Structure 1
């Protein structure tokens, strides 16, 4: 039977890549200006579904340098960030000292069951192969409260793309991203006990090579 957990070697490759490029990422993607307005509209819908204030804790899972954590916090969410990369978390702590961040993989989150009213997976599952997706969504479902919501953002399609964008900044890193259809992501969410609320799919714009998709789901 094939493994349903992320490949440990692949996880270390991703960790090393983001530790290497963390400073560059923080410099060139300091906030949400790279997001299309319709993408941020989906995040706003997620915030509305989750609510705001201390009682509506939100986990930014795969938070990177904390740019989406900042967006959530500025709109009233009580945010906790977590990321695989120590380098990315260090940048997040430097840029957003008022927000809490932790280092951990998405398939082994250091949080209690039913702890969060919302979980944001903003392009944070894209480096995990299809065989490891189920473990991530099961862990997200574990930490999500009944009635809570999860929003997943990802590049839409099929296949694997090599990430070469960091080479123009002098980083020789090995990094790949996996494309998924909205139906595939919705299927993983359903298998974890989460119910799709809505989805958005759009064509690529600007320098994007692929279409983008977001799926919002609820824990019943």
Structure 2
């Protein structure tokens, strides 16, 4: 939920009517006090799932935002860590929280890193990419990883049709599509454009071998399936 230190309704409205980059520049100082920040429970579950697969040396947080995901990299990486984002405002907040990290301002759809990282992660960023943009992002991450390197990110299970969350997310995406049809610049933020099957297909096309691991710490749905999985995309050796 929004805290008293979070953005006002007016600030949220201005952000929503801006471009993605400008919107996050505006929101950055208060972003960690919004429900848009990746919850600690998700970060902790991801960290615990990655520990048995490491240790890793260099780590990269793709679309790092204010740097929340870097706590996972710090926990599982022995070497230096880096973050990339296109919002200068978000990177300024990340720099305060992680002064020793290398932070790069760049468009993740055109990453220019060489093959120097053992682990790449991303949290909550796929909804800011149109499906047609994912292949370029995944190809860039593939280039940034050393042979045998791992790209990992949590992905929630779709809520059932009878859940209020199903209809809330459907309604949110519908509103965003109408907004982007009638207002420029567009603000790309969707919750239902990155199902596991489609994401896995795009990762495989980029050259990854793909598996998943249940994030059991985040609980199970009524049918016994996990509420979230960790997608594990491995660059072949």
TM-score higher than 0.5: yes
Pair 1:24-2:30 in alignment:
yes
Structure 2 CA distance for partners of 1:47 and 1:192, relative to 1, 3 Å: farther
Q: Residue 69 of structure 2: SS of its match in structure 1?
A: helix
Structure 2 CA distance for partners of 1:176 and 1:204, relative to 1, 3 Å: farther
Number of matched residues? Answer: 189
CA contact 2:44–2:72 (8 Å) conserved in 1: no
CA contact 1:83–1:103 (8 Å) conserved in 2: yes
CA contact 1:46–1:150 (8 Å) conserved in 2: no
Aligned to 2:10: none
Structure 2 CA distance for partners of 1:150 and 1:76, relative to 1, 3 Å: closer
Aligned to 1:185: 199
CA contact 1:60–1:120 (8 Å) conserved in 2: yes
CA separation in 2, counterparts of 1:156 and 1:22? 28
Structure 1 vs Structure 2 CA RMSD: 3.1
For 1:36, which of 41, 47, 50 is the aligned residue? 41
Aligned to 1:102: 104
CA separation in 2, counterparts of 1:212 and 1:198? 10
Any idea what the Cα deviations from partners look like across 1:23-74, whole Å, max 9, x if unmatched? 1113457x86x2436x63333333442424xxx1111011111111133214
CA contact 1:47–1:72 (8 Å) conserved in 2: no
TM-score, length basis structure 1: 0.73
Consecutive unaligned residues in structure 2, runs of 5 or more: 1-17, 159-168, 177-185, 222-226
Consecutive unaligned residues in structure 1, runs of 5 or more: 1-11, 164-172, 206-210
Structure 2 CA distance for partners of 1:120 and 1:181, relative to 1, 3 Å: same
CA separation in 2, counterparts of 1:28 and 1:178? 17
Q: Give the structure with higher Rg (CA).
A: 2
Pair 1:82-2:84 in alignment:
yes
